[in-house]
Amino acid sequence: MYSRTYYPTVVLSDIHLGSPHAKTEEVTAFLKSVNCDKLILNGDIIDGWHLKKSGLHRWKAKHTEFFKVIMKMMENFGTEVIYVRGNHDDFLDALAPLNFYNVKIVKDCIYESKGKRYYITHGDIFDTVTTQMKWLAMLGDTGYSFLLWVNKVYNAYRMKQGKPYYSLSQKIKHKVKSAVSYVSDFEKELVNLAKSKKCNGVICGHIHHPENCYYDGIHYLNSGDWVETLSALTEDENGNWEVKYFDRADYRVTAFQEELAVIDKLITIAS
């Protein structure tokens, strides 16, 4: 069983459901551990690019389970869901804006809380590669997928040696000067946009780099991703924001304990 922690608002982005690199079980476990009034899915939740390239057979039961958990949150807690389209789920452009039941599908929006205004966008609007040169973005996506595959093999080797998880792919990205420069420019551009919209802050995703900081008095928040960092944004009842990281070790222990509980229940029934 999961003990749920209450947050007025939770933000997730860049889950990339349908991609082999998506940490679907982990993000689903995270959702089962929280209760929130508002769940903001800030883009690239479904990886439409990968599904289009590899086929719908890549969509598994675990991906459907993720949405079933969200529907349960809506049913049991009255959670409002805001789905902001990203570049990998740009198929939603044909639907946005759309309101039905307790779900909104939008391209961007303004979120107001505790007297503050936050501009919410996935963030790809400032990525000229994804907006104007999609073929080049897809080529880059292939390279990134290869880097993640190398990371997976590397960590399988580390686990056999009893060593903890280490993101080789993130380390490489942080060493590449052009990538570091891109992140800095990305953050500055979004902060300037928030200013132009007379907002106190901006909430985004896209670059898989979680952050909670201030630029020129503007609150910059990035929810990270569920491919490498396994992070989310949470807002408490006083309007304070925090980047929450999912603990892989805790998840493995919890999953093992749940398997034992199921076995014990089966033994009890059998006896």
**Residue 136 lies inside a defined structural domain of this protein:** no
Q: What tokens appear for 79 in the block?
A: 């959670």
Counting other chains too, the contacts that 73-77 makes at CB distance below 8 Å and 24 or more residues apart are 73/31, 73/35, 73/36, 73/39, 74/101, 74/102, 74/103, 77/35, 77/36, 77/37
**Residue 52 lies inside a defined structural domain of this protein:** yes
Higher pLDDT, 119 or 98: 119
pLDDT of residue 28: 96
- Short-list 188, 168, 224, 264, CA closest to 42: 224
**Residue 90 lies inside a defined structural domain of this protein:** yes
- Short-list 110, 130, 132, CA closest to 120: 110
Question: Where in the sequence is the domain holding 258, given as residue range(s)?
Answer: 5-130+198-270
Question: pLDDT digits over 227-267, tens only?
Answer: 989 999 999 999 999 999 998 665 544 444 444 454 455 55
**Residue 171 lies inside a defined structural domain of this protein:** no
Higher pLDDT, 154 or 206: 206
Instruction: Please give the full DSSP string across the chain, using - where no structure is assigned.
Output: --PPEEEEEEEE----BTSTT--HHHHHHHHHTEEEEEEEEES-SB-HHHHHHH-GGG--HHHHHHHHHHHHHHHHH--EEEEE--STTGGGGGT-SEEETTEEEES-EEEEETTEEEEE--SGGG-HHHHH-HHHHHHHHHHHHHHHHHHHHHHHHHHHTTPPP--HHHHHHHH-HHHHHHHHHHHHHHHHHHHHTT-SEEEE-SSS--EEEEETTEEEEE---TTTT-EEEEE-TTS-EEEEE--HHHHHHHHHHHHHHHHHHHHHHH-
Question: pLDDT digits over 105-123, tens only?
Answer: 999 999 999 999 999 999 9
Going edge to edge, which strands form the sheet with 34-42? 98-100, 103-106, 80-84, 34-42, 5-12, 231-235, 241-245
**Residue 141 lies inside a defined structural domain of this protein:** no
Q: How far apart are CA 162 and CA 156, in angstroms?
A: 10
Strand 201-204, strand 211-215: pairing: unpaired
Q: What tokens appear for 175 in the block?
A: 């060493």
What's the pLDDT band for 19 if we cut at 50, 70, 90?
A: confident
pLDDT at 154 over 80: no
**Residue 217 lies inside a defined structural domain of this protein:** yes
pLDDT of residue 252: 47
Sign of the alpha-carbon torsion through 190, 195, 196, 200? positive
pLDDT of residue 243: 97
Residues in the chain: 271
Average pLDDT of 153-176?
62
**Residue 227 lies inside a defined structural domain of this protein:** yes
Tokens 């003990």, residue located:
3
**Residue 43 lies inside a defined structural domain of this protein:** yes
What total of structural domains would you count in the chain?
Answer: 1
The pTM is what? 0.75
Q: What tokens appear for 112 in the block?
A: 């107001």
Average pLDDT, the chain: 81
What's the pLDDT band for 23 if we cut at 50, 70, 90?
A: very high
What's the pLDDT band for 271 if we cut at 50, 70, 90?
A: very low
Residue 10 sits in a domain of what CATH number?
Answer: 3.60.21.10
